[in-house]
Amino acid sequence: MRRVFGAACLWLVAAAATAQEAWVQIEAQPTRAEAAAAAENYAARLDDVAGFRLGQRWWAVALGPYDRATAEAELSRLRSGGAIPGDSYVSDGASYGERFWPADGVSVARLDEPPTRAADQTVAEARQAERLLSAREREEVQRALAFAGVYDGAVDAAFGPGTRAAMRSWQAAEGYPATGVLTAAQREVLLGGWRAVLAELGMETVRDERAGVEIAVPAGVVGFDRYAPPFARYEPTGDLPVRVLLISQPGGLATLRGLYDIMQTLPVVPPQGPRELGSRSFTIEGRGAELISWTFAELAGDAVKGFTLVWPAADEARGRRVLEEMRASFRPLPGVLGGVEDGAAPVPDLLAGLEVRRPARGLSGFYVDASGATLTAAEAVARCGRITLDDGTEAEVAARDERLGLALLRPRETMSAPATARFRSALPRIESEVAVAGFPFGGVLPAPALTWGRVAAHVEAEGRKRLALAAEEGDAGGPVLDESGAVVGVLLPHGAPGHAVAANAAAVATFLAQAGLTVAATDGDAPVAPEDLERLAVDLTVRVGCWD
């Protein structure tokens, strides 16, 4: 059953929106006929069923009218009994337009026919009035058309063919002559519905001096709850599951990048959806079955400032309208929240009181070509429902060698590896110094660590070598580097205490060649400074996440 809540329009009728009325909105459908059929189904078992238009494309089924207390009691009673959907909520009816249910004898077959409306201006007069609009007013028209679901082009104040086609679509749906030029009255109807959403949600600019953020928030559905650095948390005040997090944290580029990774471990940021890390800011859109969230953060002096908006997935149109207003109003101010809540110790699996989503297993890997192909231990990706690299990039197993214990991963999205491995063709000498680059604690640390040791023995028949070093479980799959930064092996799991086992570079190269990948080879260069080897490890080594 499709369900979307929330568009608004100006055609308010007295039966739908007096100040004292409240409604239990239980469903919305994309056509009037479907909504009427749903209303008829509910009416067979519930009292007080009503149906109203929501903007131009959606139709609400509601119960009421009631006073607020009665509406909330009915919502609780009917939801707990399973009589209405779990995402039903109490509405004041401000966004309800014409009432279509009860239908008063109007057949369902005719319900999708829009009313016929006369034009208030001629096309010539409308064009003349249009020329007087400012660039900002023209952008508002485009945003309102996008909100109405008829425009997906750029918001550029240019009324080109795409905008004209959207105007014609909107006019036709609303029963106006489809001229492609809005009259003054039509613009008011269009913009009125677009603006009414913010009024219904109580958009209000807050100036948080402690967090150092000024922004408009939907104060009608969220309220300030507490500071939990790096967030100022705004929690739901009613039945609509909306949350706002204001982001405020001291730091620079490394902090920004670390926060980008951490945000994607939170359940309020679903793993699907586009995301982008730029040179001074990032955006993340998380899309799940139940919720959708948008996060924006940027460097502001010596701090990172931003926000997250969490919204019901079924009500995405209103959420995007709120997001647009929040982005436009966001302004960093002096002031910044601390790293952890006053008097509280950091909790490994919590961030500011929000549970952190972690993979079932986290090992290491490293890039073996410029497109992001990653080599890791086969055990790292055994029985995974989903595999991720570093920043949440989805990956899949391209090849596997159970004898060697290796797996080759390929990212599902185009990416560019910051560094790729060079494999040393000759076996390193016994007792030579080597280092394993990996994430020893399953990715808790923001960057890979180097663990130094030496080559203890070669096991040529198995294509492996034994190392004298104290590797951690999370290091498995990481590259074994010589002093020049060349890869001499891949660390495998389950070494003895104080010792480790690695697949030899030659055996690894053969495996990769069989998978269709040619690796860069080297005979070994001069040793590099430890800090240069650490920088190489950061660029080369990848966190590999295995999710249930």
CATH code (residue 218): 3.40.1000.10
Residue 158 and residue 93 share a domain: no
Name the band, by pLDDT with cuts 50, 70 and 90, for residue 362.
Answer: confident
Whether 2 is covered by a domain: the verdict is no
Q: What is the pLDDT of residues 318-328, one digit of tens each?
A: 898 899 889 98
Name the band, by pLDDT with cuts 50, 70 and 90, for residue 299.
Answer: very high
Q: What's the pTM?
A: 0.50
Name the one residue in this structure whose structure tokens are 């930064």.
485
Q: What is the pLDDT of residues 109-150, one digit of tens each?
A: 344 455 556 567 888 898 988 989 899 899 889 988 988 888
Q: Are strands 422-424 and 433-438 parallel, antiparallel or unpaired?
A: unpaired
Name the band, by pLDDT with cuts 50, 70 and 90, for residue 504.
Answer: confident
Quick one: pLDDT at residue 117? 61
Name the band, by pLDDT with cuts 50, 70 and 90, for residue 34.
Answer: confident
Residue 395 and residue 350 share a domain: no
Name the band, by pLDDT with cuts 50, 70 and 90, for residue 353.
Answer: low
Distance CA 542, CA 519 (A): 17
Name the band, by pLDDT with cuts 50, 70 and 90, for residue 341.
Answer: very low
Query: In 215-354, where does DSSP find H-type helix?
Result: 253-263, 316-329
Other CB atoms closer than 10 Å to residue 177's CB: what's the count?
16
Residue 331 and residue 252 share a domain: yes
Dihedrals phi, psi of 509, to nearest 5 degrees: -60, -40
Quick one: pLDDT at residue 182? 93
User: Both tokens of residue 348?
Assistant: 């490994």
Give all strands of the β-sheet with 22-29 in edge-to-edge order.
89-91, 22-29, 58-66, 49-54, 99-101
Residue 319 neighbours by CB under 8 Å, 6+ apart = 292, 294, 309, 311, 312
Residue 253 and residue 144 share a domain: no
Region of 382 please: left (phi>0), alpha (psi -120 to 50) or beta.
Answer: beta
Question: Residue 458 forms beta bridges with which residues?
Answer: 465
The total number of structural domains that make up the chain: 4
Question: Residue 28 forms beta bridges with which residues?
Answer: 60
Q: 351-365, 429-443, 475-489 — which one is most confidently predicted on average?
A: 475-489
Name the band, by pLDDT with cuts 50, 70 and 90, for residue 215.
Answer: very high
> Region 153-178: what's the mean pLDDT?
90
Whether 3 is covered by a domain: the verdict is no
Domain coverage including residue 389: 358-548
236-265: b (≥16 Cβ within 10 Å) or e: ebebbbbbbbbbbbebeeebbbebbbebbb
Residue 309 and residue 222 share a domain: yes
Name the band, by pLDDT with cuts 50, 70 and 90, for residue 191.
Answer: confident
- Find the CATH number of the domain harbouring 422: 2.40.10.120
C-beta of residue 471 within 8 angstroms of C-beta of residue 451:
yes
User: Both tokens of residue 142?
Assistant: 């485009």
Residue 250 and residue 347 share a domain: yes
* Number of alpha carbons in the 13 Å side-chain half-sphere of residue 192: 17
Distance CA 480, CA 492 (A): 10
C-beta of residue 397 within 8 angstroms of C-beta of residue 381:
yes
C-beta of residue 278 within 8 angstroms of C-beta of residue 243:
no
Whether 6 is covered by a domain: the verdict is no
Residue 475 has what DSSP assignment? G
Last residue of a domain, one of 200, 226, 258: 200
More confident residue, 4 or 53: 53
The torsion of the CA quartet 211, 214, 217, 219, rounded to 10 degrees, works out to 80
Residue 74 and residue 142 share a domain: no
pLDDT at 13 over 70: no
Residue 210 and residue 186 share a domain: no
Give all strands of the β-sheet with 231-236 in edge-to-edge order.
222-228, 231-236, 243-250, 303-312, 291-300, 281-287, 275-277
Residue 439 and residue 362 share a domain: yes
Whether 14 is covered by a domain: the verdict is no
Last residue of a domain, one of 301, 330, 354: 354
Whether 444 is covered by a domain: the verdict is yes
Residue type, 434: V
Whether 278 is covered by a domain: the verdict is yes
Residue 513 and residue 368 share a domain: yes
Q: What is the pLDDT of residues 389-415, one digit of tens each?
A: 886 788 999 999 988 889 999 998 878
Q: What is the SS3 assignment for 506?
A: helix
- On average, the pLDDT of the chain sits at 81
DSSP collapsed to 3 states, 337-367: CCCCCCCCCCCCCEECCEECCCCCEEEEEEE
User: Both tokens of residue 527?
Assistant: 């040793």
Whether 523 is covered by a domain: the verdict is yes
Last residue of a domain, one of 110, 132, 159: 110
Whether 11 is covered by a domain: the verdict is no
Measured in residues, the chain has a length of 548
Distance CA 537, CA 435 (A): 10
Residue 293 and residue 167 share a domain: no
Q: What is the pLDDT of residues 114-124, one digit of tens each?
A: 555 656 788 88
Quick one: pLDDT at residue 248? 93
Residue 486 and residue 374 share a domain: yes
Quick one: pLDDT at residue 293? 96
Q: What is the pLDDT of residues 220-268, one digit of tens each?
A: 899 998 888 888 999 998 888 899 999 999 988 888 888 888 888 788 8
Quick one: pLDDT at residue 11? 31
Quick one: pLDDT at residue 324? 87
Quick one: pLDDT at residue 355? 54
